[in-house]
Amino acid sequence: MLHPLRPFTTVVLAVSLDGKIADRQRSPARFGSAADKHHLEAQIAQADAVLFGAGTLRAYGTTLRISHPELLQQRQAQNKPPQPIHVVCSASGNINPQIAFFRQAIPRWLLTTAIGAQQWADQDGFERIIEAEDASGLVDWFAAFQTLATLGCDRIAALGGGELIAGLLTADCVDELRITVCPIILGGRTAPTLVAGEGFLEAIAPRLELIEAQTIDQEVFLHYRIIRHSFP
Ligand SMILES: NC(=O)c1ccc[n+]([C@@H]2O[C@H](COP(=O)([O-])OP(=O)(O)OC[C@H]3O[C@@H](n4cnc5c(N)ncnc54)[C@H](OP(=O)(O)O)[C@@H]3O)[C@@H](O)[C@H]2O)c1
């Protein structure tokens, strides 16, 4: 089902050749090249908001700010603030307020449930707390994306991890994916992959159309669009 009002959403992630987004210790993914980092920064520069799961924030402790002068100029020319809004998705709200993320010069929003919102009610850290809970106690993507669109988030870059991306795909909230395939094999039964969750049966799995494949040095930059079938 197509949502009447929601941001255009691009998933941006680097994967190992075997589709992992981190090693089995869930370490921060540092296997992408400088070209991949620039690609990620360029995608972030296109966005009004970047969205990531609390697991990703717990792994990194920080988020990626735009620092490239050309990208900052580009945003200024488009009348956009220097940094997009960094939206953390957490059902629990259980995020350590001491991590460096809270000292970074960026706008921070929290997307959460009633319990999560309660955790942050008397604490600084987030400029805005968006509460959107579904019947199972998770974030209701339909409601959350409508709220984000209403608040001026026309373009979202979803930066992972696998749990967050699974939820977005299940809720039909993804328009395109920009995946960098990196020359490393991580393996591991428990190492996170691009899409976690319960998985899709093949018959109803999201289908993609390849828009572009670009090779830079040892990495392949893939750009896929989600195929949507419109029914009369
Ligand atoms: N290779 C890359 O480009 C890349 C990019 C990003 C991350 N990573 C790696 O990915 C790993 C983290 O991925 P992950 O799948 O474990 O975690 P994740 O998706 O980043 O975060 C999972 C957490 O986000 C919250 N969440 C996700 N979906 C939710 C929903 N629908 N409703 C409410 N809350 C929701 C929950 O937070 P609470 O537990 O607080 O409720 C959940 O536990 C790390 O190892 C990181 O290094 C790699």
Domains of the chain: 8-226 (3.40.430.10)
Specify the residue with its C-alpha closest to ligand 1, atom 24: 53
* Amino acid 230: pLDDT: 61
CB 3 within 8 A of CB 173: yes
User: With a 6 A CB cut-off, is 22 part of the ligand 1 pocket?
Assistant: yes
Question: Tell me, what's the pLDDT at 5?
Answer: 83
**Which of 31, 41, 56 has the most ligand 1 atoms within 8 A of CB, as the residue to mutate?**
56
Query: pLDDT of the chain along its 232 residues, tens only?
Result: 455 689 999 999 999 999 999 999 999 999 999 999 999 999 999 999 999 999 999 999 999 999 999 999 999 999 999 999 999 999 999 999 999 999 999 999 999 999 999 999 999 999 999 999 999 999 999 999 999 999 999 999 999 999 999 999 999 999 999 999 999 999 999 999 999 999 999 999 999 999 999 999 999 999 999 998 765 4
Distance of CA 190 to the CA centre of its chain: 21
Which of 80, 81, 85 lies closest to 111, judged by CA? 85
Alpha-carbon distance of 208 to 224, in angstroms, equals 6
**Nearest atom of ligand 1 to the alpha carbon of 91:** 41
Q: How far apart are CA 56 and CA 163, in angstroms?
A: 10
Q: Is the CB of 162 under 6 A from ligand 1?
A: yes
Residue in this structure with the two tokens 């979803």, named with its chain if needed:
158
Strands 208-216 and 108-112: unpaired
User: What tokens appear for 141 in the block?
Assistant: 């993507």
How many DSSP H helices and E strands does the chain contain? 6, 9
* Ligand 1, pocket-test mutation among 17, 90, 181, most atoms within 8 A of CB: 90
Determine which residue's CA is closest to atom 31 belonging to ligand 1: 139
Q: State the distance from the centre of ligand 1 to the C-alpha of 118, rounded, in angstroms.
A: 21
CA of 103 to the centre of ligand 1 (A): 21
CA of 19 to the centre of ligand 1 (A): 16
Q: Is 158 in the pocket of ligand 1 (CB under 6 A)?
A: no
